[in-house]
């Protein structure tokens, strides 16, 4: 079995390697870091239209490393959207991928976009189905609560707050996420290797 190392040991190892790193390796790491910062700026600023515009001052000799860093950040932001803000950020990251990779990535970017849409639809449909199913089961509980505490308290019962709902949704959503995440990771790896 492999040796388990602490974060401190890993950080010390990296620092030791940096001490031995050549000037070229340090320049490359700096360029990758710059690419990550540029991509983060692109994702965070709603006014930026194109990632290429942000890369106009990049030294041509370091462009591949800057693009590598930017792609890393963009791909990390393409996640299965449980909320609308995640979908918007993923779509912006996909537009950044298109800026950097061009038409060779168009088909895969389109496939990822469709997958994210399918995930969001499936995720919401299953959640609503489970809510409806639990709502039917909640009917008897609401009647008992209404008899004991009044109708206002019974009406305030939220099916999503029930431990049974949360437990079942956790199990079900985990299965959905796992299924879609496998395909998403496959497509992201494909883009990374273009």
pLDDT digits (tens, 9 = 90+) for 69-79: 999 999 999 99
Give the whole-angstrom CA distance, residue 118 versus residue 114.
Answer: 6
pLDDT beyond 80 at 18 = no
Residue whose entry in the numeric block shows the structure tokens 């494909």:
190
Instruction: Write down the pLDDT at residue 21.
Output: 64
- List helix spans (H) across 23-162: 23-44, 51-54, 63-76, 84-101, 106-149, 151-155
Region of residue 58 (phi > 0: left; psi between -120 and 50: alpha; otherwise: beta):
beta
At residue 52, does pLDDT exceed 60?
A: yes
* 12 against 168, higher pLDDT: 168
Which of 88, 173, 94, 90 has the alpha carbon at shortest distance from 130?
173
CB-count burial class (<10 Å; 0-12, 13-18, 19+) for 169: middle
């Amino acid at each position: 079995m492999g040796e388990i190392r602490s974060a401190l040991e890993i950080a010390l190892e990296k620092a030791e390697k940096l001490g031995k790193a050549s000037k070229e390796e340090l320049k490359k790491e700096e360029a990758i870091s710059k690419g990550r910062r540029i991509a983060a700026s692109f994702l965070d600023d709603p006014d930026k239209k194109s990632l290429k515009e942000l890369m106009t001052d990049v030294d041509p000799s370091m462009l591949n490393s800057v693009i590598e860093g930017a792609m890393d950040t963009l791909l990390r932001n393409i996640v299965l959207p449980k909320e609308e803000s995640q979908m918007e950020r993923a779509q912006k990251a996909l537009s950044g991928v298109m800026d950097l990779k061009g038409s060779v990535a168009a088909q895969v970017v389109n496939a990822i976009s469709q997958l994210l849409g399918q995930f969001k639809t499936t995720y919401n449909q299953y959640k609503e189905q489970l809510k409806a199913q639990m709502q039917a089961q909640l009917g008897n509980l609401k009647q008992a609560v209404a008899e004991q505490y009044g109708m206002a308290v019974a009406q305030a019962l939220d099916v999503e707050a029930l431990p049974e709902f949360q437990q079942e949704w956790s199990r079900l959503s985990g299965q959905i996420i796992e299924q879609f995440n496998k395909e998403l990771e496959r497509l992201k790896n494909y883009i990374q290797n273009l």
